[in-house]
Amino acid sequence: MISKEVTQMKKILIGMIRFYQKYLSGLKTTYHCIYTPTCSQYGIEAIEKYGAVKGLALTVWRILRCNPFAKGGYDPVP
């Protein structure tokens, strides 16, 4: 059984990512995500699939890998 707190945490994290996608992502002019799906979409998918803790950990690891020296390309949630 999934506790109400865990479900709420997932909703909060996904809400924060959606806020970023809608209001902040478009402000970047010099850099874009080199991965498909984008890091923010990856975060939503990871949190939906694995929950708040593991999904957030996967998202942070993905963001750390998203840099100008990375190869990029297709990198789905495992």
Angle at the Cα of 76 (from 75 to 78), degrees rounded to 5?
115
Domain residue spans in the chain? Answer: 28-78
- 49 to each of 1, 9, 10, 58, how far by Cα in Å? 16, 14, 10, 11
Distance CA 8, CA 53 (A): 12
Distance CA 62, CA 1 (A): 29
Tell me the whole-structure pTM to 2 decimals: 0.89
The whole-number pLDDT of residue 38 equals: 94
Across 45-57, average pLDDT:
96
pLDDT at 48 over 60: yes
